Each structure stands twice: as C-alpha cells, then as structure tokens.
Amino acid sequence: ASTTGNLWLGLLAAILLGFLASPARAEQWFLSYGYYFVLAGNILWVFAMARLYPGASKGLKQLAPWAMLCLVLTACIFLTSSPAWRVLSDETNLLGVSQGMYRALSPVAYTKALVTQTDFVPLATATAHRPLEFPFLVSLLHCLTGFRPGNAFLLNGIATFACLFTAFLLATRFAPAKLAWLAPVLLAVSPIFVLSATSGGYEILSIAFTLAAFLVLAKHLASPSAHSLEGLFLTLVLLAQTRYES
C-alpha cells in the first residue's frame, strides 16, 4: 500500500511541477535537473527489477543456451548490416545531447565549440527536445571510454541483445522453450529491426523497454503485487523517456 501511495504522490508532484511553472522556468529546471531525474529513474528501476526478480541469478545457468542464441543472432545482425547513421539529423542530435550530458551533466547539445588538442570550449548550446533515456545511457558509455560517436552503436548492440532475450523470456510465459526460441529468431530476421539495430537512433531501446513492460505486466497479471506494479510503473516511465511516440 505504501508503494502504491508513493507512486501516486510522485505522479501528482510531476503533474504540478509540469503545469505550474512558466515555460522559461520549466526549461531552467530541465537543464539543471533533467540529468539527475533520469539518473534517479534508472537507479530506481534497477532496484525495482532486483526486488521483482530476486532469484534471477540462480536461473541464469538454465537460460545460458538461449542467451547464447540471442548473442549469436545479435552478431549476425551486425555482420549482415554494418552500423551507420540512418536518419542523420535525429541520430546525430541524440549523440550531441549525450555529449552535453557527459561533459556538463545537462541535456544540451553543443552547436558551436572551440576545439584544440587539449581543450573543448563550448560557445553555443541548444536545449534537448527529445526524451533523455537514450542519450543518458550513451553518456554513461562515454564515461567509460571518453566521448566516442561509436558508443551510440554499442548501446544499440546491447539493446538488440536485450530485445531478443526479452522476447524469448516473454514467449516462455505462453509456450515451452522448444517453441519460444522462435520469437527472437523471427524478430532478428525482420529487415526494419535489423536496420534499426545498426543505426544510431533510439528505436531499438524503445522496443527493449516495450518488451520489458509486457514481461512485467504478464508477471503482474499472473501474480499481482506491489513490487510488480512498481516495476511496471518504472519501466513505463523509462519507456516514455526513450521515445516520445511510446
């Protein structure tokens, strides 16, 4: 009950903050705190999934062959279609925002900068106008490797594996494993899925969170609980922060 109450309070606070502030003040808050809200959402989601699937690590051994299948399918996708920028303005804008989140912890894209051998001096920025989940996750990869445009493709490679494996897990709720393996295979041979997987856009990450939401929903419908409701709510929050059409 307390978890459900906290969810409603958080939703009410978000609505009030979104509608009571002036556009200029809302943009100021977005630039100052947007990164930290997305960070908090991801941390809460990780903890919610850990509570929802406490014994997940014990079942990894049984799922290892199917995870390997999804890994092989992911490799085949990237061997079949080389990573490339498909929709240049959208994908490079997302990459630009990831650079702003990496360098300034703020959802901005640098539109003009002075670059030397040792310094990067921003001269002009633009506020991000797309959801922040994809550039946020790319910025985390930048933290590990330094700023690299290829990190957008790396994230989509990880998201592709997540899509295929989640599709398998979702299928096992309705069919035995000897049939459920067809779900990731059929997904992997879809041409639009292959092109999206090897792009620098947010479509594959959106599909991953959509499948995760259905997986948690199936668990909640089979055995309703506060933990499953919390997990579903937070998954939908991250889905909404991935692609605005979601």
**What per-residue confidence (pLDDT) applies to 151?**
97
Mean pLDDT across 171-190: 93
Task: List, for residues 23-73, the tens digit of each pLDDT value.
Answer: 888 888 889 999 999 999 999 999 999 999 887 777 777 889 999 999 999
- Token couple for 214: 């259905």
Confidence check: pLDDT of 3 > 70:
no
| pTM for this prediction | 0.89
| Torsion angle (degrees, nearest 10) of CA 86, 90, 92, 97 | -150
Taking a C-beta distance cutoff of 8 angstroms, is the pair 14, 193 a contact?
A: no
- Reference 177, options 167, 163, 189; nearest CA is 167
Taking a C-beta distance cutoff of 8 angstroms, is the pair 34, 132 a contact?
A: yes
**What per-residue confidence (pLDDT) applies to 13?**
75
* CA atoms of 152 and 217, how far apart (whole Å): 29
* Banded pLDDT at 246 (limits 50, 70, 90): low
**What per-residue confidence (pLDDT) applies to 145?**
95
- Reference 205, options 162, 150, 142; nearest CA is 162
Taking a C-beta distance cutoff of 8 angstroms, is the pair 230, 48 a contact?
A: yes
For 58, which DSSP code?
A: G
